[in-house]
Amino acid sequence: MSKERKIGPWRVTDARKAFDNPWITVTDHKVIHPDGSPGEYGVVHFKNLAIGVLPIDAEGNVPLVGQHRFPHDKYSWELPEGGGKRDVDPLISAQRELAEETGLSAKEWAPLCGFDISNSVTDERAVCFLAWDLSEGAAAPEPSEALTVKKVSFKDLLEMVMSGEVTDSLTIVMALTAYAKALRGELPAPISHLLLAGAARK
């Protein structure tokens, strides 16, 4: 029996670790709901941050990474993304993910957004960046990853997001946030120019 504690309007009367592996821990909580009724609340704790990168080249194109996603049993096109240790600067993790998945490196980086991915049952947090002034190199994906990389215009990426062809949450949030911030003049001028030029391409 764990010590009773409060989480907002919930009272936690007991908690036990139901599952654990190198990436997640699932904890089952016995709770008293805000209305006073007893209940249960399971929470998935993610041991890494979710890291995303929106890289854009001098022509206004972005690389998309394709891979088969096990949980949904379907192929997914996404911007470069992965996991980063919580005790490591997220920018360092973003630079590593970009290089591993695409072979690209970038001279210029800027924060883009941070958000909670599924806050009803997980504590997973995403931290995302913009990258530009790109240089090409050799990709080095992890052994468990079978990746395909293709280049599309930023306009095509927006259309893939709006049509539902892209369903990955990090990619959707990065693309729409970057476009909105560029329109509002809230990004560094060079990246705003590339994003808006890419969005306007025929």
pTM: predicted TM-score of the whole model, two decimal places: 0.91
- pLDDT tens digit at each of 202 positions of the chain: 457 899 999 999 999 999 999 999 999 999 999 999 999 999 999 999 999 999 999 999 999 999 988 889 999 999 999 999 999 999 999 999 999 999 999 999 999 999 999 999 999 999 999 999 999 877 665 656 668 899 999 999 999 999 999 999 999 999 999 999 999 999 999 899 888 887 877 6
Task: Enter the tokens of residue 10.
Answer: 């919930």
Rounded CA separation 108/190 (Å): 10
Answer whether 55's CB lies under 8 Å from 132's CB.
Answer: yes
